[in-house]
Amino acid sequence: MQLQQLRYFVAVAETRHFTQAADEMGVSQPTLSKQIHTLETSLGAPLFERIRGGVTLTVAGETLLPLAQRMIADADAARDAVADIVGLRRGEIRLGATPSLCSSLVPPVLRAYRAEHPAIRLHISEGSSQDLIDSLLAHALDLALIVAPEHGVDPGLEATELLRESLVVASVAAGPPLTVARQLDLAELRHTPMVMFRVGYDIRDVTLHACERAGFTPKFAVEGGEMDAVLAFVEAGLGVAVVPSMVLANRPLLRATPLAPPGMRRTIALAQRRGAVLPHAAAALRDVVIEHSASL
């Protein structure tokens, strides 16, 4: 008894017609009939009776049908399980992240992941949190590291909060301190030229709202850049910028000045489609992201 013979048998049993079953299985009707005959011979009993316009199951066929369906389902499940394991050797992952996270959180995560799964292909997409959310909903990404919106993510997604990160004011390390105190009141930047991110960038909106609450409109020296450009402009002495504390870890030319309470913070989250079953490779990456974030 062969698994393919059982598939042919189930197809005929469900359609009650040899020709229709052959079409569904992509074989000729004589080939399917021959395989069914071979199966009946091996079992020692006929499985079908011919009637006008089709066939009907014999008692032996009725007995075999649920067993055959279960055997086929078990075989398919076994194949899928093995393919899932193999996926950790030949799979691929589509991960999205904001530019600031691509330059801070993502590199050590990918280094740890690649050490365990060197053959997995990693596709990284940079974008604003909203762009990444849209890509997730469009099934263009498996996972995305985003700045969680204050009003929560789209109901079509689920987000795991990873950490809350403080924002600081970046300035030239060789220049005079921005304040003599340990922390800087945001209102002290009222007359200080600022380097501002492009429209749609998460930190831009957070900074503008905080300045508005502090009672002033910031003075832009340069605006429109991504993270690397903003930091380079600050290093060049064009102004100061409000940035995540993590991005200054390897920037010796810049000074980080903490903000006085209430300060400014953002919540980093890992998002995926709600109810989606992640590929095995993506699920393994998700575990690495959560583990690394917990260690920060």
Architecture of domain 3-89: Orthogonal Bundle (1.10)
* CATH for the 91-163+267-295 domain, from 3.40.190.10, 1.10.260.40, 3.40.50.1220, 3.40.50.12780: 3.40.190.10
Within the chain, residue ranges assigned H as helices are 3-15, 18-25, 29-43, 59-90, 99-102, 106-116, 129-137, 202-213, 227-235, 280-295
pLDDT at 185: 94
Residue by residue, DSSP assigns 186-236 as GGGGTTSEEEEEPTT-HHHHHHHHHHHHTT---EEEEEEE-HHHHHHHHHT
Lowest-pLDDT choice from 71-75, 100-104, 153-157, 181-185: 100-104
Other C-beta atoms within 10 Å of 190: how many?
A: 14
Place of tokens 């890992």: 270
User: Bridge partners of 220?
Assistant: 194
pLDDT at 68: 95
Half-sphere exposure in the Cβ direction for 124 (13 Å, CA) = 14
| Structural tokens at position 121 | 């292909």
pLDDT at 146: 95
pLDDT digits (tens, 9 = 90+) for 202-243: 888 889 999 999 999 999 999 988 888 999 999 999 999 999
pLDDT digits (tens, 9 = 90+) for 123-179: 999 988 989 999 999 999 999 999 988 788 899 999 999 999 899 999 999 999 999
